[in-house]
Amino acid sequence: MFAYFFLFLVFASGLFGAEVQIPDKVLICGVGRKIEKAVPNLIQSATDLGSRFADYRVIVYENNSNDRTPELLRAWAKRNPKVIFRSEKLSSKKLKRAMSMGVLNRTEQIARARNIVLDIAMKKEYDDFKYVVWADLDFLNPWDVEGIVGTILHPKEDWDAVFAYGAYDLFALRSKEWPIGFELLGNYYLDHLDEIRKEFVLDRDGPWKKVYSAFGGMAIYKRDALRGCRYSGVVTAGLERAVIRWLEESGKREKPAVFQKAYEEFLSEITPFVLPLTGRDKLPDSIGVRFPKGKIVWFSCTKDMTLPWVCEHIPLHVSMIEKGRDKLYINPKLRGGP
C-alpha cells in the first residue's frame, strides 16, 4: 500500500510542480583540498540534495589546504549539525609513512582521504542510511540534484552503483570495451587520450551503460554494496584478478580501434616498455601478466619505483564486484563534472 501511495506522491508532485522527496536517508561524501572558491556551491548543493531525502548527513575531509577551505567548512559544520567535517595538517614524513612504499603518490593520498570518509559512512550509527552519494567537491556549478533524484527513482532493474556521465574522467572508466588503462598501457594510454575520448561517447537520452568502473565526478551507491570495500591508489591483488578476467573477455570481442595497436603490438611485448618494480612483497605473487603466452606487467610511472598506481575508484569497484555487487552503470543523463 505504501508503494502505491509513494508513486501517487511522485505523480502528484510532478503535476503540481513540487519537488520529489525520497523516503530514505542519504550520506553525502567528498574529499577536497584548496577548494575555497567551490565551498559556497558545495554548501548549497549538498544542502539542496539532502533536503530531498528523509534525512541526510554530509561527510567531508580535507588536509593541508593553504587557503580558507578548513575555516569555511568548519564554520559550516558548526552551523549545521548534519555536517561531519574532518581536517588534518600532515607533514610529508607522516604522509610518506602512510604510502605503500614510503613514496608520496597522489592516487594513494586521495585513496587514504576517501577511506577516512568511507570509514565514517560505514559506522553502525548510519546503518539505516540507504544511499551514499560521492561528489567531487571542486565544482563551481550547482550539482545535478534532479539527476541524482531521478536516477534513484529510475524504474530500472536493481543497481549497486550509478555514475555520472563525464567523458573527461577516463582514468576511472573500465568496461568490456575499455578493460585497461594507464596502469597497463602507460604513456601509450596518455598519448591516445584524445582518441579514446572521441570513441567513448554515450547518447544523453540513451540507456544506462553497464561498466566495471566509472565516476565522472559524481556517483550514487547503495550503502550495503560498499560493505567491506576499500579505495586503493595502487594495483591490488583483486584488481590483478579482475584484469585477467577482463582481458580474457575482451579477447573474445572486437576491440576499440584506438586499442587495436596496443593489443597487437604493445601488450604482446610489454616487458621492455615497463619499469621494473620493487617492494612487490606487499602484494601477493610476483609481478606479472598472466597472459596465455606471457605476462601482464604493470606500469610504474615514477622514477622512485612505487607500486603501479591506478585511479583509486577502480580497486573500490573491483572489491564490490568480487562481493557480488556488480550492477554498476553509467547514467548518461546524470551530469557530473564539467
Look-up of cell digits 594513494: 108
pLDDT in tens, 236-266: 888 888 887 887 777 665 556 656 665 555 4
For residue 258, the model assigns a pLDDT of 58
Q: Are strands 209-210 and 328-335 parallel, antiparallel or unpaired?
A: antiparallel
Q: For residue 19, give the 3-state DSSP assignment.
A: coil
pLDDT tier for residue 1 given thresholds of 50, 70 and 90: very low
Q: Which residues lie across from 275 on neighbouring strands? A: none
Burial class from Cβ neighbours inside 10 Å (0-12, 13-18, 19+) for residue 146 reads middle
Using a pLDDT cut of 70, give the percent of the chain over it: 77
Q: In what order do the strands lie in the sheet with 131-135?
A: 83-88, 53-63, 22-32, 131-135, 218-222, 161-165, 328-335, 209-210
Q: Are 278 and 257 in contact (CB under 8 A)?
A: no
Check: pTM over 0.85? Answer yes or no: yes
Between these two residues, 185 and 114, which has the higher pLDDT value? 114
The whole-chain average pLDDT of the chain stands at 82
Between these two residues, 338 and 227, which has the higher pLDDT value? 227
Cell numbers at 267, concatenated: 601488450
For residue 299, the model assigns a pLDDT of 64
Closest C-alpha to 219, from 302, 156, 131:
131
Strand blocks (E) in the chain: 22-32, 53-63, 83-88, 131-135, 161-165, 209-210, 218-222, 328-335
Structural domains of the chain, with CATH? 22-177+201-224+323-335 (3.90.550.10)
Could you give the CA distance from residue 147 to residue 153 in angstroms, rounded to a whole number?
10
pLDDT in tens, 52-99: 999 999 999 999 999 999 999 999 999 999 999 999 999 999 999 988
Q: Are 231 and 313 in contact (CB under 8 A)?
A: yes
Query: What is the dihedral angle through the alpha carbons of 105, 57, 64, 307, rounded to the nearest 10 degrees?
Result: -10
